[in-house]
Amino acid sequence: MLGDHLAMDLLNTEARNNGEVTEYWNSGNDVLRWLERCGVASALTARSVDLEELLAQGIALRTLARRLIVQRKEGQTGDINALNKYLHAYLSAPHLERNCGGNLVLTRTVHGEPIASLLGPVAEAVAQLLVEGDFTLVKQCEHPDCILWFYDRTKAHKRRWCSMASCGNRHKAAQFRKRSSGKTG
């Protein structure tokens, strides 16, 4: 969860390591675990889900989101009809309830079919990014072997790496080795 935005974290369910693409979603259960980590779903909401269909729909949504985000980043407006299909299938209603502290909170109660209910909030996050996002802050990690995305929420908006602990340090170590060996450039 390095993306700092649910839409970016969706794209980051596929990565690259040593030139090889790494797929983090190999089963419907992988998608469910990711949705739970993101706070989109709980184990209770996913009881009667066709896991193969969830995997297929999740990967299709990720592919669509990547295409639309890249197009928007390039100043183009992509075909939004496929994203609207996910959004229209996501049926929910506002629901007022009390939280554990007794305060009122507004939540959403899902009423649609299970897969649309699980992927709907993710599709909505992609749509919100496309509409409200500052695309100068939508960035891809600058490490040449990394394809991860993030929304740069830093104060100066100068974030370059998906994670300083991984890609930033790998870059700095490579630069140090290059300088230590006497090579320039």
Residue 45 covered by a domain: yes
At residue 158, the pLDDT reads: 85
Please report, for the domain that includes residue 37, its CATH number: 1.10.3300.10
Residue 42 covered by a domain: yes
Residue 51 covered by a domain: yes
3-state secondary structure 77-102: CCCCHHHHHHHHHCCEEEEEEECCCC
How many residues make up the chain in this entry? 185
Residue 92 covered by a domain: yes
At residue 46, the pLDDT reads: 58
Averages of pLDDT over each 10 residues, the chain, 185 residues? 86 86 94 92 71 96 97 92 95 90 89 90 96 92 84 85 69 63 61
* Beta bridge mates, 97: 105
At residue 164, the pLDDT reads: 63
Tokens representing residue 17 in the block: 């390591």
Number of domains in the chain: 1
At residue 2, the pLDDT reads: 74
At residue 61, the pLDDT reads: 98
Residue 150 covered by a domain: no
Full domain range(s) for residue 57 = 6-131
What are the φ and ψ backbone dihedral angles of 134, each rounded to 5 degrees? -90, 105
- DSSP characters over the chain: --SSSHHHHHHTTEEEETTEEEES-SSHHHHHHHHHHTTS--TTTTTT--HHHHHHHHHHHHHHHHHHHHHHHTT-----HHHHHHHHH--EEEEEEE-TTS-EEEEEEE-S-HHHHHHHHHHHHHHHHHHH--TTSEEE--STT---EEE--STTS----S-IIIIIHHHHHHHHHHHHTT---
pTM of the model: 0.83
Tally Cβ neighbours within 10 Å of residue 79.
11
Identify which of 105, 138, 184, 107 has the alpha carbon closest to the alpha carbon of residue 5: 138
Residue 169 covered by a domain: no
Residue 49 covered by a domain: yes
At residue 88, the pLDDT reads: 95
Residue 168 covered by a domain: no
